[in-house]
């Protein structure tokens, strides 16, 4: 992980420092807004809450706000680094809450090692929050702190380091037992580690059906047995048993299950060989498990293996638990997260792994198929269905056990959850995962630029693409040294020193000799990085090209058109932006190329946009936009749009498309239903085709600047090979995203 040090530091300090901000959920622009949000209007909800404290959930953010609380005494694998040093982790936890369950978080870092002081402080925060997530607090103090707070507070308190791992591993355990055909009340289980997580796991697994006499727990001193004095405490004592076993080696002999929450390489192949047939091994130490995944499978082909790592099957990851458990608890205004709610979450996760895995999840991980098996005993962390399975199960358990202060219709609640997050965030993730399945060679003409080099490192590290950067190798190496960048495997091509220069010059002259290009001009042009890069793609020495960071759009596009040209059957290239909002992704076209398109060109743009949308697994619904709404204004401009719709319907009759129409008709279901009930588009368009470049370019920039949308693009459509143009001055992430799109395009071109 040391390779990522500079990237991680830059990620956290670039732009606005840190990872979080507070955003208003109400208008706050006019004097009236100010008077409603603050004085005098704010007095009214205050008085309502004074009369009825429960109304705080209606008038404030309390019901969707969780405190992530730590004293920094046991941060990740870093140990007792203190409250302030732990703040990046707590901010990250807040981002996960928001990303996976749309829960807002304030991170609270408390500078104290006194458990009672921490309890007093957190207890005083109860009016602010709907729930408390304790994080990275060392054992055994963490047990005392959580127990006290659960007893004294009337909102959910949950120590994720303990219960999150227990819930996720419990679901994996139930399914692993199903795979190997063993019964939970008969198996012998060995735990290595006796900290907060291990003890919580053991307690939950006992609740699931493991028999106490079949459980052995080890710590750094060996087996916890009756009469042992060294290293014992009140939390370990309940797991002390009568046994002759004294070491982990002794404990594992004949065991059915090993659950490790300890240290790297604690388990040897011989220890694994000593276990019972079809052993279950959860080696959950991070970042390196108790036994390497591949070594375990080489040692025994009958082992069912899980780790805490994302690069191996069966990742036991707490992100499968805490966001969704809190979501369900908050939505029924639970007073606690009780044992029944944890068990409900465990069973929901276990059952989800038995379901067919939908295509978007497979795409997100670059897989063709995945089903319940030894390699899939628990859902993937990025499976969006986890929210719709776990949160309702937790909410139902809270209602059934009397922990809920609000009752919900579970069916309606599940539907509301699905609408809450939408699928917009999966588009780029899916693209990147698909790119990883077959990385392509992507040439970057601006190879000496810092952002290009940083992006190239990410592309190589993540296995997204094989970048080729153009420029003087000496200059690029010096630049990398100055930036302290190590990029093993980076391909550098200097046009002036290339062995391909003569061939490229000759081919460029052949392509352009009837376009006024002389041999002398061809020799000069071939040294231009954009021309050279385009020639690499044309001559199959690269699979795609990404350029434009430091240049105007035409400077990048023109050489590509001259050398590569358009796809067969396409006369005009066009540009599209993916506009990513919180709950939706829209395609905007043409935003970059065609200034005043004819009906024929507009039709081509619409067809190319629909084709591209399908590569992102977006089922196209195309709105052809105009100032006229289905003939409300007669003008050559609107007539052109109407004619384009007719051309598209003639070429692709099954494509859902309509126009000419207003943008509110395209996007507002109520407006469409009332004014245009006959239209194929009922406020549900996801592709917007603009009538000219002015409107398209202005619209995407307005939405980006004022609406907070993320603009991904411009994605060039209609080229014979994969060529894409960057926004001038864009950031490193945008370059990585565009390179992934270029890889996906190249994969499609060669399919």
Active-site residue (options: 62, 93, 342, 440): 93
Annotate 680-696 with three-state secondary structure: CCCCCCCEEECCCHHHH
401 Cβ neighbours under 8 A, 6+ residues apart: 338, 340, 341
Going along 383-495, which residue ranges are E strands?
A: 441-444, 466-470, 491-493
| Residue 51 is among the residues annotated as catalytic for this protein | no
Closest to 592 measured CA to CA, from 580, 607, 609: 609
SS3 content of the chain, % helix, strand, coil (to 5): 45, 15, 40
CA distance 522 to 519: 5
CA distance 154 to 147: 13
638-659 b/e with 16+ CB inside 10 Å = b? bebbbbbbebbeeebeebbbbb
CB 638 within 8 A of CB 628: yes
CA distance 412 to 428: 29
DSSP notation for 299-362: H-TT-EEEES-TTSSSB--GGGTHHHHHHHHHHTT-S---HHHHHHHHHHHHHHTTSPPPHHHH
The two three-digit tokens of residue 222, written as one number: 């060996």
CA distance 705 to 347: 44
The sign of the torsion formed by the CA atoms of 367, 319, 310, 297 equals negative
User: How big is the CA angle at 574 (ends 679 and 713), to the nearest 5 degrees?
Assistant: 95
The two three-digit tokens of residue 751, written as one number: 């399919």
| Residue 93 is among the residues annotated as catalytic for this protein | yes
CB 123 within 8 A of CB 149: yes
Active-site residue (options: 4, 11, 26, 38): 38
DSSP notation for 624-673: EE-SSSSSSS--HHHHHHHHHHHHHHHH-TTSEEEEEE-HHHHH-HHHHH
CA distance 388 to 390: 6
Determine the straight-line distance between the first and last CA of the chain, rounded to whole angstroms.
Answer: 35
The two three-digit tokens of residue 427, written as one number: 């588009």
The sign of the torsion formed by the CA atoms of 23, 29, 34, 37 equals negative
CA distance 490 to 379: 35
The two three-digit tokens of residue 574, written as one number: 């066009």
Sheet holding 710-717, edge to edge: 656-661, 621-625, 687-689, 585-589, 574-580, 710-717
Task: Report the Cα 451 to chain-centroid distance in Å.
Answer: 22
CB 241 within 8 A of CB 215: yes
The two three-digit tokens of residue 619, written as one number: 């089922």
Q: Give the phi and the psi of residue 154 in degrees, each rounded to 5.
A: -110, 25
CB 256 within 8 A of CB 188: yes
CA distance 486 to 484: 7
H helix or E strand, kind and range, residue 545: strand 544-547
The two three-digit tokens of residue 308, written as one number: 């805490």
CB 391 within 8 A of CB 101: yes
Radius of gyration of the chain from its Cα atoms, rounded to whole angstroms? 30
Q: Which residues are 624's β-sheet partners?
A: 659, 689
Q: Which residues are catalytic?
A: 38, 93
């Amino acid at each position: 992980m040391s390779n990522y040090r500079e990237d991680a530091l830059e990620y956290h300090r670039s732009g606005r420092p840190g990872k979080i901000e507070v955003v208003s959920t109400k208008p706050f622009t006019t004097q009236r807004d100010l008077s409603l949000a603050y004085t005098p209007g704010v007095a009214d909800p205050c008085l309502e809450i004074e009369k009825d404290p429960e109304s705080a959930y209606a008038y404030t953010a309390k019901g969707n706000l969780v405190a992530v609380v730590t004293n920094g005494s046991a941060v990740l694998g870093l140990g007792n680094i203190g409250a302030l040093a732990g703040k990046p982790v707590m901010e990250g936890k807040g981002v996960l809450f928001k990303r996976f369950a749309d829960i807002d978080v304030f991170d609270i870092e408390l500078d104290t090692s006194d458990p009672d002081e921490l309890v007093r402080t957190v207890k005083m925060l109860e009016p602010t929050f709907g729930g408390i997530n304790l994080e990275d607090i060392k054992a055994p103090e963490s047990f005392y702190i959580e127990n006290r707070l659960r007893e004294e507070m009337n909102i959910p308190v949950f120590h994720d380091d303990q219960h999150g791992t227990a819930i996720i591993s419990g679901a994996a355990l139930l399914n692993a037992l199903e795979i190997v055909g063993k019964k939970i009340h008969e198996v012998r289980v060995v735990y290595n580690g006796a900290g907060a997580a291990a003890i919580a796991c053991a307690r939950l697994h006992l609740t699931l059906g493991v028999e106490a006499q079949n459980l052995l727990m080890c710590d750094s001193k060996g087996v916890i047995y009756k009469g042992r004095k060294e290293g014992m405490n009140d939390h370990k004592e309940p797991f002390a048993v009568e046994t002759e076993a004294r070491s982990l080696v002794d404990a594992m002999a004949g065991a059915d299950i090993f659950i490790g929450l300890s240290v790297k390489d604690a388990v040897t192949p011989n220890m694994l060989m000593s276990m019972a047939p079809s052993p279950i091994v959860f080696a959950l130490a991070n970042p390196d498990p108790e036994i390497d995944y591949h070594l375990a499978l080489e040692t025994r082909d009958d082992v069912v293996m899980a780790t805490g790592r994302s690069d191996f099957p069966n990742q036991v990851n707490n992100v499968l638990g805490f966001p969704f458990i809190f979501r369900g608890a908050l939505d029924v205004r639970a007073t606690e997260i009780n044992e029944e709610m944890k068990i409900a979450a465990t069973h929901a996760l276990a059952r989800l792994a038995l379901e067919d895995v939908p295509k978007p999840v497979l795409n997100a991980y670059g897989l063709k198929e995945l089903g319940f098996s030894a390699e899939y005993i628990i859902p993937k962390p990025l499976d969006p269905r986890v929210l719709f399975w776990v949160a309702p199960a937790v909410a139902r358990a809270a209602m059934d056990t009397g922990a809920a202060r609000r009752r919900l219709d579970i069916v309606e609640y599940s539907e509301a959850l699905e609408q809450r997050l939408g699928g917009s965030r999966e588009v780029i993730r899916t693209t990147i995962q698909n790119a990883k399945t077959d990385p392509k060679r992507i040439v970057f003409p601006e190879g000496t630029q810092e952002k290009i080099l940083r992006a190239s490192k990410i592309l190589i590290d993540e296995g997204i693409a094989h970048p080729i950067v153009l420029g003087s190798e000496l200059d690029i190496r010096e630049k990398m040294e100055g930036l302290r960048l190590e990029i093993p495997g980076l391909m550098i091509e200097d046009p002036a020193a290339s062995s391909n220069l003569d061939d490229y010059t000759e081919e460029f002259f052949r392509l352009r000799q009837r376009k006024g290009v002389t041999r002398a001009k061809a020799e000069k042009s071939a040294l231009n990085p954009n021309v050279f890069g385009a020639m690499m793609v044309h001559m199959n020495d690269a699979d795609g090209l990404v350029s434009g960071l430091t240049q105007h759009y035409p400077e990048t596009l023109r050489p590509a058109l001259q050398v590569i040209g358009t796809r067969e059957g396409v006369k005009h290239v066009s540009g599209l932006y993916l506009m990513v909002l919180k709950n939706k992704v829209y395609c905007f076209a043409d935003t970059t190329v065609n200034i005043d398109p004819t009906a024929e060109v507009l039709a081509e743009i619409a067809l190319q946009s629909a084709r591209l949308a399908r590569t992102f697994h977006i089922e196209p619904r195309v709105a052809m936009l105009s100032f006229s709404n289905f003939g409300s204004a007669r003008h050559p401009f609107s007539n052109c749009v109407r004619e384009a719709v007719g051309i598209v319907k003639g070429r692709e009759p099954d494509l859902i498309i309509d126009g000419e129409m207003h943008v509110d008709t395209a996007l507002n279901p109520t407006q469409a239903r009332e004014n245009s009930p006959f239209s194929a588009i009922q406020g549900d368009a996801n592709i917007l085709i603009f009538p000219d470049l002015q409107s398209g370019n202005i619209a995407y920039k307005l939405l980006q600047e004022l609406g907070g949308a993320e603009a991904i693009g411009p994605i060039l459509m209609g080229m014979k090979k994969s060529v894409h143009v960057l926004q001038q001055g864009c950031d490193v992430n945008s370059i990585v995203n565009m390179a992934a799109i270029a890889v996906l395009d190249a994969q499609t071109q060669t399919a």
